[in-house]
Amino acid sequence: MQEPITVCLDARIHPGAMGGVEQYVSRLGRALLDLNPPDQRYVFLVHDAGAAWARAAIGPDARLLSLPAGRLGRGRIKKLRRRLKRAVSAVTRPLRRGVGIPDRVAPARSPGVIERAGVDLMHFTYQAGFLTAVPTVYQPHDVQHLHLPQFFSPHEIRKRETLYRAYCAAARAVPVSSEWTRQDLIRQYGLPPDRVHAVQYPPPHLDAPEPTPGQVADARARLGLPERFVYYAATTFAHKNHLGLLDAIAHLRDERGLAVPLVCSGKQTEHFALVQSRLSALRLEPLVRFVGFVPAADVRAVYRAASAVVIPTRFESASFPLWEAMAEGVPVACSGVTSLPSQAGDAALLFDPASPAQIAEALARLWTDRALGAALVAKARARIAGFTAQRAARTFHALYRVALGMEVTPEQRGLLHGGAIG
């Protein structure tokens, strides 16, 4: 019997600071370990200080490879340029010359940890990566910086462009969460279409126990949640559009005489200072509550307590809160941008995130028309009926085989060609 191949997943996570990426990595890891196929075994690359998170989030039996702090070297530019020349010169040279990006931003190199461990395939599960002789799967998730450059510093754009292009060019496969993102990545980076795959990601939090009415009441009391409220779960990055959402809540109050309480959760970034300033300027303190990062154990309870979910983001490769709300039976109003219309289908109200009036109109409909909300919930449940962690694990299992040039069954090929919700 042939020895199973070893796939290493990048789990270098900073808990509470990486939003949906943290959920995605932990859920995919657990799903693959549960699948436990005979032809593959899975290990997880962590920081020295990340072992506790990985064992708690992925599983106590997860096999870990530890990467000591500071072990990813960048080396000299000339050496890296020689290493990358054949793989990525076609994309990096026009980039540097065309927009004046200096050469000092360069990809990291593997310190040898995965090579010494005998890893056959390295899966970079989020934007970080490094150069290695081991075949790779790379997930940039999206190229938002090309669509909304105003939200990024010149250095961050330079860094993303150089690294994303290099790691995509070196990868055997580039999985993304939606067909919209797949087409965008092919168009922006000129990647071969057969190398970029729209695949279903595992659903976050849905494997947690269903909350009891008592647990919902407890979460409501601890977090100070109103009896009825609209919920938005998002780190306060600028593109998440908390400012536009606050304008919409003020519009409902001032133009329609409708007081709609809003609860926002998620890590608070430096952009939160602007959000607080707008909150104060609009005198919305009585209506709006920011509760910070919600622990995984409380996530389902908070959704169950909500009357509606709003997602006013200006850019998204795929929205975990949209999936979560659909699964928890909460009606949704969300932005009609990027992949979201395809992800939502007819199971959510769509609006232009640049228009507070449109956001307000969608919220008013959900707030006042319970029959509409019930109809959307029914459509949502039908839409995500096959959306399971097990299917996601089988899909990535097949993708790993394709990345290594191994044969796949018709069923596995169907999973890869079946795409993703969105």
Indicate the average pLDDT of the chain: 89
Rounded to the nearest angstrom, the gap between the alpha carbon of residue 137 and the centroid of all alpha carbons in its chain is 16
pLDDT at 22: 83
More confident residue, 279 or 94: 279
pLDDT at 205: 66
Asked if the structure places residue 398 within a domain, the reply is yes
List Cβ<8 Å contacts ≥24 apart for 192-198. Answer: 195/171, 197/173, 197/399, 197/416, 198/419, 198/420
Closest CA relative to residue 363, chosen from 292, 307, 282, 285: 307
Closest CA relative to residue 193, chosen from 179, 205, 203: 179
Percent of the chain past pLDDT 90, that is, above it, reads 73
If asked whether residues 187 and 295 sit together in one domain, one would say no
Q: Which residue has the tokens 């329609």?
A: 256
If asked whether residues 222 and 182 sit together in one domain, one would say no
User: Which tens digit of pLDDT belongs to each residue from 184-212?
Assistant: 999 999 999 999 999 877 666 666 788 99
If asked whether residues 246 and 350 sit together in one domain, one would say yes
Identify the three-state secondary structure at position 176: strand
Task: Please give the residue range of the domain that contains residue 60.
Answer: 5-203+389-417
If asked whether residues 152 and 255 sit together in one domain, one would say no
- pLDDT above 80: residue 159: yes
Mean pLDDT of 232-261: 98
Closest CA relative to residue 312, chosen from 279, 290, 288, 338: 338
Asked if the structure places residue 356 within a domain, the reply is yes
Q: Which residue has the tokens 């029959």?
A: 371
Asked if the structure places residue 208 within a domain, the reply is no
pLDDT at 174: 97
User: Whole-angstrom Cα distance, residue 1 to residue 138?
Assistant: 30
CATH of the domain at 99: 3.40.50.2000
pLDDT at 21: 81
pLDDT at 400: 98
pLDDT at 90: 47
If asked whether residues 286 and 404 sit together in one domain, one would say no
If asked whether residues 245 and 278 sit together in one domain, one would say yes
More confident residue, 81 or 401: 401
Asked if the structure places residue 268 within a domain, the reply is yes
If asked whether residues 41 and 77 sit together in one domain, one would say yes
If asked whether residues 107 and 219 sit together in one domain, one would say no
pLDDT at 50: 82
Q: Are 189 and 168 in contact (CB under 8 A)?
A: yes
If asked whether residues 258 and 299 sit together in one domain, one would say yes
User: Whole-angstrom Cα distance, residue 132 to residue 348?
Assistant: 43
pTM for the whole structure: 0.84
Assign 318 a pLDDT band (cuts: 50, 70, 90): confident
If asked whether residues 63 and 192 sit together in one domain, one would say yes
User: Whole-angstrom Cα distance, residue 13 to residue 51?
Assistant: 10
If asked whether residues 359 and 400 sit together in one domain, one would say no
Q: What domain count does the chain have?
A: 2
Residue type (1 letter), 120: D
Mean pLDDT of 224-232: 98
pLDDT at 204: 67
Secondary structure (DSSP) of 333-374: EEE-STTHHHHHTTSSEEE-TT-HHHHHHHHHHHHH-HHHHH
Token reading at 291? 């509760």
If asked whether residues 360 and 292 sit together in one domain, one would say yes
Token reading at 137? 């799967």
User: Which tens digit of pLDDT belongs to each residue from 45-94?
Assistant: 998 878 888 998 899 989 999 987 665 644 433 444 444 444 544 444 44
- pLDDT above 90: residue 297: no
Asked if the structure places residue 364 within a domain, the reply is yes
User: Whole-angstrom Cα distance, residue 31 to residue 393?
Assistant: 6
The answer to which of 145-159, 249-263, 387-401, 406-420 has the lowest mean pLDDT is 406-420
Residue type (1 letter), 70: G
Percent of the chain past pLDDT 70, that is, above it, reads 88
pLDDT at 221: 96
Q: Are 327 and 421 in contact (CB under 8 A)?
A: no
Q: Are 316 and 337 in contact (CB under 8 A)?
A: yes
Closest CA relative to residue 234, chosen from 290, 286, 278, 277: 290
- pLDDT above 60: residue 390: yes
Asked if the structure places residue 422 within a domain, the reply is no
User: Which tens digit of pLDDT belongs to each residue from 96-154?
Assistant: 444 444 457 899 999 999 999 999 999 999 999 999 999 999 999 899 999 999 999 99
CB burial of residue 152 (10 Å; 0-12, 13-18, 19+) = middle
Asked if the structure places residue 241 within a domain, the reply is yes
Mean pLDDT of 28-46: 95
